Every structure is written in structure tokens, then in C-alpha cells.
Amino acid sequence: MDREQLVKQAARDLSDKLIDVWERTPTRCYLTVEPENSLAANRYMVDQGGRLATASGVDRRDWIEVCYHYCFDELNIIITLKTRAYKPECELPSVGQFLPGAVWVEREIQDLFGAKFLGHPDPRRLILADDWPEGVYPLRKDYHHETHSNTGRAVSPDPGRARVLSALRRG
């Protein structure tokens, strides 16, 4: 099988799950699925021989886009499977349930963007401090970094700000 055949087969096999297919270059392809189809589509990529290189998150205002980047080394192609965690819940199923390599990167996306990975085997914080306020995500577009004048700690003027300032005043 060559690159072109792989992309065509994936588009055909996942046709009932796909929102969009974009072949950016001969070595880069993007497939987009709704969250309820994410597990099946990710399993498909692994079953086809894809190696999960990493995952990334992007704040798209109305949803957090989670991108799973699969390398097909023999074919010299990267297929990115994109899905959406719609705000305000930001929930989607965890690929870490069956793909151990996704566990840490999903925890990173959870900490930094607020996506909640349902069924995740280890949903503890990974990057943010344990005393970081709930509901404040530093890579979201609505996050605005400020420094509290008395403590030098970061605060954010979003809905979590009142909790942060209140906690800082209590000491």
C-alpha cells in the first residue's frame, strides 16, 4: 500500500465517521471526526499501523480541538486525526484507555486547555501545580495572565479569578 491508497482507504473505511478530509501535501493528511467517533477512528489508525507520535490541543473558541498525530513511517506520511471537545463541558473519550502512549499527552491537554478525557486511566494533574485554581487553563484564548501585587502569583480575569483572589487573600 502506498500513501495515496492509505488515505483513500481511511477515508472510505471511516466515511460514516468523518466530518472532513484534508490532504495538505502528499505527506500530510488531516481527518476530522466528532468526539463520539474519536475512539473508533483512533483505533483504526493504530490497526492500520499508525504510530502515535504525539497529540496537541488548540482553542477554537467554541471547542478545544484535540489532534492525534499518527506517523506511518514506511509510507512517509503523517495523518492527523482531529476531534472536538465542545465547550463548556469539553468532554471526549480518552484514547489512553487502549493506547498507553496517549496517557501523558492527554493529561497535558487537560491541564493546559481543560479538555476532560472520559475514561482516562490516570486523570491527575501533570503540569499545573496542585494548588492551581480549578477552571483556569493557561493555553485557552480567554486566559489573561496577571500577577497579584502582593504575592507575585499568577491570576486570571476569567470565571476562576474570584476563587484565585479569594484564596490569595486568605493566605
CATH of the domain at 98: 3.30.460.80
Output the average pLDDT for the chain. Answer: 89
Q: How far is CA 135 from the centre of its chain?
A: 16
The CA-to-CA distance between both ends of the chain, in Å, stands at: 62
* Number of residues that this document lists for the chain: 171
Torsion of CA 29, 18, 88, 92, to 10 degrees: -90
**What's the pLDDT at 166?**
53
If asked whether residues 21 and 75 sit together in one domain, one would say: yes
Summarised one tens digit per residue, pLDDT across range 1-42 is: 899 999 999 999 999 999 999 999 999 999 999 999 999 999
Roughly what angle, to the nearest 10 degrees, separates helices 3-13 and 38-47? Answer: 150
152 and 86 part of one domain: no
Residue 165 has pLDDT above 80, yes or no: no
Whether residues 80 and 157 share a domain: the answer is: no
101 phi and psi, to 5 degrees? -65, -15
Q: Mark whether 118 and 47 lie in a shared domain.
A: yes
pLDDT band at 154 (very low <50, low <70, confident <90, very high): low
Counted domains in the chain: 2
**pLDDT (tens digit, 9 = 90+) per residue, 108-134?**
999 999 999 999 999 999 999 888 888
Phi, psi at residue 146, to the nearest 5°? -135, 160
> What is the pTM assigned to this prediction?
0.84
pLDDT tens string 129-152: 888 888 889 999 988 766 545 555
Cell of 60: 477554537
Q: Show Cβ contacts of residue 20 under 8 Å, excluding neighbours closer than 6 positions.
A: 30, 31, 32
Residue 9 near residue 1, CB atoms below 8 Å:
yes
